[in-house]
């Protein structure tokens, strides 16, 4: 899908032109370099609206996994709060745990909770399953330390944007199949789900922010020797999953120009067809990560408001 500027909503065109010029990834090495740069730039970012805490847990290979934990500055009640695992985007190759801050602020200010965001292993350092293992380890840590965190211990929320949305779906599948911890609600925003890249919205997509070329580089990095094979794990590329039973209710948004548009629609429709409650919105004229490209734009504000409302509704339903 070729994307011209006149197809893009007017409130995103200026930033879209900028991104077309400056967000170009020649090869996998360029993704890795940008990933390291963003980690340095974003690594120490703080929220001014929330408490910022940091914990470190040990991986199986003895490396430390950083967890950024965001909580209300003042709790309005004395009871336990929902625990939210939020996973940052970046094509599995870019980003930092602190990218969760805008979402943590929206969610916690809508209905109090505790957001945990892990600095999962980027694909330039180690390919799949390192990132998934880190995210699941963070979820288990939340369960084991629920009393210390002041959260419920087996009704977790999991969400993420882009690759983080893909990981949110993967963690939901993995947790369902392992049976060690319960996920009550999933919030994968425009998730990166399908390594096969055969959908109409993906083929020849040259939209700003993220496109077919960047996506192909990212999947090559993430899957490594599995790339291009028929037996890729559903936990690596959740679009390959055919069994949607016993997955949690879901909320999602996606732009009509997003290369992930079709795979997001397919995932949400498959959940709905299985009888799982779904709340889903499509935004005309919006490219990938539109809410981050221009957070003040009308459609960005609408999407983020709907995300916060869906989270609050789920909290009231699950913990009534």
Helices 212-223 + 28-42 axis angle, to 10: 90
β-pairing, 278-283 vs 183-189, is unpaired
Q: Any idea which residue has 């010029």 for tokens?
A: 21
> Tell me, what's the pLDDT at 175?
98
pLDDT under 50: residue ranges of the chain: none
> Tell me, what's the pLDDT at 164?
98
> Tell me, what's the pLDDT at 77?
76
> Tell me, what's the pLDDT at 252?
98
> Tell me, what's the pLDDT at 22?
82
CA separation for the pair 140, 153 (Å, rounded): 10
Helices 101-110 + 298-318 axis angle, to 10: 50
103-138 pLDDT tens trace:
999 999 999 999 999 999 999 999 999 999 999 999
Nearest to 155 by CA among 143, 141, 173, 138: 143
> Tell me, what's the pLDDT at 75?
83
> Tell me, what's the pLDDT at 286?
98
| Helical H segments across 145-282, by residue range | 146-149, 163-178, 212-223, 261-273
Sorted by where each starts, the structural domains of the chain and their CATH numbers stand as 5-318 (3.40.50.1820)
Q: What is the pTM of this model?
A: 0.97
């Amino acid at each position: 899908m070729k994307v011209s500027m006149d197809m893009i909503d007017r409130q995103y065109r200026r930033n879209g032109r900028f991104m077309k010029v400056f967000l170009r990834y020649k090869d996998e090495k360029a993704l890795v370099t940008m990933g390291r740069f963003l980690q340095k730039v974003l690594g120490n970012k703080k929220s001014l609206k929330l408490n910022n805490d940091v914990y470190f847990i040990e991986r199986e290979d003895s490396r430390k996994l950083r967890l950024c934990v965001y909580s209300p500055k003042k709790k309005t009640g004395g009871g336990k709060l929902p625990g939210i695992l939020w996973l940052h985007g970046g094509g599995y190759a870019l980003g930092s745990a602190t990218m969760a801050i805008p979402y943590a602020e929206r969610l916690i200010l809508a209905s109090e909770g505790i957001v945990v965001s892990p600095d999962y292993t980027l694909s330039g350092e180690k390919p799949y399953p390192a990132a998934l293992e880190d995210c699941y380890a963070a979820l288990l840590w939340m369960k084991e330390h629920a009393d210390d965190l002041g959260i419920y211990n087996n009704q977790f929320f999991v969400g993420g944007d882009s690759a983080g949305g893909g990981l949110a779906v993967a963690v939901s599948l993995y947790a369902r199949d392992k049976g060690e911890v319960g996920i009550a609600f999933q919030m994968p925003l425009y998730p990166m789900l399908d390594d096969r890249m055969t959908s109409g919205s993906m083929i020849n997509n040259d939209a700003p922010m993220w496109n077919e070329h960047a996506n192909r580089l990212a999947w090559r990095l993430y899957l490594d020797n599995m790339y291009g094979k028929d037996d890729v794990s559903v936990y690596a590329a959740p679009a390959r999953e055919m069994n949607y039973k016993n997955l949690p209710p879901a909320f999602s948004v996606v732009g009509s120009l997003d290369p992930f548009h079709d795979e997001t629609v397919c995932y949400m429709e498959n959940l709905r067809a299985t009888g799982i409650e779904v709340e889903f919105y499509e935004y005309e004229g919006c490219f990938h990560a539109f809410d981050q490209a221009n957070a003040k734009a009308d459609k960005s504000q609408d999407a983020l408001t709907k995300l916060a409302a869906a989270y609050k509704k789920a909290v009231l339903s699950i913990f009534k």
